[in-house]
Amino acid sequence: MLDLKYIRENLSEVKENCHYRLAQVDIDHLVELDEQRRSLQQELDEQRAKRNVWSKQKPTTEQIVEIKANNQAIKEGEERLVKIIEELDSLLLTVPNQTDAAVVRSLNEEDNPVLEEFGQPLEFAFEPKDHLALAEQWNWLDFERAAKVAGAKFYYTSNDLVWLELALIQYSLAIIAKHGFQVMTTPDLAKTSVIERLGYNPRGQSTQIYNLEGHDLSLIGTAEITLGGYYQDEILKGDKLPLRYAALSQCFRTEAGSYSKFAKGIFRVHQFNKVEMFVYCRPEDSAKEHQLLLEIEKEIFSGLEVPFRIIDHCTADLGAPSARTFDLEAWLPGKPNKEDQLGDWAEMTSASNCTDYQARGLDIKYQTADGKKGLVYTLNGTGLALPRAMIAIVENHQQADGRIKLPVALKPFIPLELSSMFFI
């Protein structure tokens, strides 16, 4: 979340940022609530001070009446303060992070500049299949039986697609660990308050989050949530930063409001495996750490021998916690484009610098050797979102007979003697 003092002192900039981030937030009302909170807090402090003075002496009859009135005023004031703070906090959580100066200001979500391109889309000498057709040929996926068990957009994987997924997990974690990240597994659940203070909306019709009825818990949509909450209410040693973590987790998303987006096969589903990176660092190191996350993502996809490009999110396409986000988009031969032809770019990974936005919400600080304290900066990056990475591999490396040419980098991670011979 943003600092209230910063909002008060930079009102026009915050309003402009909300406008370009497409965030419908009543900043004036937020400031008004903050003024009410501070004014009421001052009144309560004065009333409590009077009560403390009276408690040290024997009151007169007249003072007893005044004390009772003062106590009632304190009680009513505290009740009003709780309501004001609840509304203020709720509204503050909807204010997005301030945007990095390098980000393109635009109200169009598609105005994302392309920064780099790696490889060229392959021109097949045959009509390529999409991942669903390949899955049918090799019996990789079962949506029909999954729907009977769990509902639409769930799936079973089998045969070589399982080996491919397990190989991708080991491959990506090995690369990430090489760069100094501590590998972890995390809970698949998080407290709703943690999710909110990391900048995500766990409630409402448009939420992407599954909530557990009767519990203050939700299923995570990414291990960013559980890695981000790891040091809640703690003070880290400045000389130990940066702290870098990577986690494999199950991810759960409702995909509410995604009906108009590309959702074929396993591209957009309710449950999937994902490898996530997360960094805690000092403010002055965040740009360097952001670039490290991006370079790792590029290294992972370069080894998969898939054409990809890097885009820089414009303001309209930024998530609320992020000040700047890079996406890695891979070429998918089976994805329809705007001209209704097959072949288009699709998001595979993202890398975001969330500055001190998440750390303020969760009260995560660092302390220097001379005792000075400050909020850490947090960053996150996708190692691999497994379903999409698998789509990119099988569609780009398919052969005319439907067999898949396995990228060299994955061969050490697949027990070829246990898999079908179509991986060559």
Residues with catalytic roles: 253, 268, 347, 350, 388
Instruction: Supply angle C-alpha 41, 42, 44, rounded to 5.
Output: 65
Q: Other C-beta atoms within 10 Å of 248: how many? A: 20
Q: Other C-beta atoms within 10 Å of 79: how many? A: 10
Instruction: Supply angle C-alpha 6, 9, 11, rounded to 5.
Output: 95
3-state secondary structure of 366: strand
Q: How far apart, in whole angstroms, are the C-alpha atoms of residue 101 and residue 282? A: 19
Tell which residue, 280, 266, 306, 318, has the closest CA to residue 393. 306
Do 75 and 43 form a contact (C-beta atoms < 8 A)? Answer: no
What is the 8-class DSSP label of residue 25? -
Contacts of 88 (CB under 8 A, 6+ apart): 30, 33, 34, 37
Q: How far apart, in whole angstroms, are the C-alpha atoms of residue 355 and residue 4? A: 16
Helix, strand, coil shares of the chain as percentages rounded to 5?
40, 20, 40
What is the 8-class DSSP label of residue 356? T
Task: List, as one string, the DSSP characters of 204-233.
Answer: STT----B-TTSSEEE-SSHHHHHHTTTTT
Work out whether strand 308-312 and strand 114-118 pair parallel, antiparallel, or are unpaired: antiparallel
What is the 8-class DSSP label of residue 126? S
Contacts of 284 (CB under 8 A, 6+ apart): none
